[in-house]
């Protein structure tokens, strides 16, 4: 089984364990050794970040080909409207191409921890929240999507990756789970790296019983016995 860590990354923390510029990193919060981030979460974003000690699990979570859904709570500038939500659901055109269709819905203001520092907020312009689920992993994608429909992102919190959820974790907290990777497609066990048809048993076997008579030398298996030698005639 593989170890999986669900970490609530605070705002202003890098999704890595070292930084030459001395900024806060995962090492300031996660005390487990031998684990690495499966994917990334921007420095100015908050919420769920997964870490694991298993390279295959890390690849399964992070690789875009697997398209794990990622769900975000997004606070935007302005009152989000039905037209903007429809555009997000259909996919919006960014500089690097059109995004895949997303799940988007308006969200009542959630009960979440206060951010440090607080968001940049203008008194003359209201803010609103939406829940957005995407299956892509482009750079700063959510922020670019909301800006493209006219509602810049002020705060971004990731609350779920696949079936893993943030739940009640507070910033800087984490919990550990044990994960078993699924079997290969078709439910077959991984093939044994030895010969085809091997049943994975140990190669050692019981030795055959020694049937050599006392005072004689055993011959190699499979070699026929030599014919008996004729007695030599006495010399005259």
* C-alpha span between 16 and 19 (Å, rounded): 8
* C-alpha span between 61 and 182 (Å, rounded): 13
188 is written with which tokens? 């077959």
How do strand 2-9 and strand 103-107 relate by DSSP bridges?
A: unpaired
User: Residue 49: in which H helix or E strand, if any?
Assistant: strand 46-52
* C-alpha span between 201 and 73 (Å, rounded): 52
* Coil, strand or helix at 146: helix
CB 130 within 8 A of CB 84: no
42 is catalytic: yes
Given 21, 28, 42, 53, which residue is catalytic? 42
Point out which residues pair with 71 in neighbouring strands.
Answer: 133, 160
* C-alpha span between 110 and 72 (Å, rounded): 12
How do strand 127-134 and strand 97-98 relate by DSSP bridges?
A: unpaired
Q: Which residues are catalytic?
A: 42
């Amino acid at each position: 089984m593989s170890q999986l860590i669900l970490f609530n990354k605070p705002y202003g923390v890098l999704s890595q364990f070292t930084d030459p510029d001395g900024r806060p990193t995962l090492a300031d919060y996660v005390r487990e050794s031998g684990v690495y981030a499966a994917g990334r979460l921007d420095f100015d974003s908050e919420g769920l970040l997964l870490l694991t000690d298993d390279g295959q699990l890390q690849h399964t979570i992070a690789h875009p080909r697997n398209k794990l859904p990622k769900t975000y709570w997004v606070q935007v500038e302005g009152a989000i409207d039905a037209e903007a939500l429809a555009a997000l659901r259909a996919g919006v055109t960014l500089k690097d191409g059109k995004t895949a269709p997303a799940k988007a819905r308006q969200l009542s203001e959630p009960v979440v921890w206060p951010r440090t520092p607080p968001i940049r907020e203008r008194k003359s312009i209201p803010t609103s929240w939406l829940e957005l689920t995407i299956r892509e992993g482009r750079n700063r994608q959510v922020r670019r999507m909301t800006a493209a429909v006219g509602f810049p992102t002020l705060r971004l919190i990731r609350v779920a990756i696949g079936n893993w959820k943030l739940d009640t974790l507070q910033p800087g907290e984490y919990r550990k789970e044990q994960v078993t990777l699924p079997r290969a497609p078709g439910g077959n066990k991984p093939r044994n790296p030895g010969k085809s048809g091997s049943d994975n048993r140990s190669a050692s076997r019981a030795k055959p019983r020694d049937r050599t008579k006392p005072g004689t030398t055993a011959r190699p298996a499979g070699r026929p016995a030599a014919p008996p030698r004729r007695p030599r005639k006495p010399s005259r």
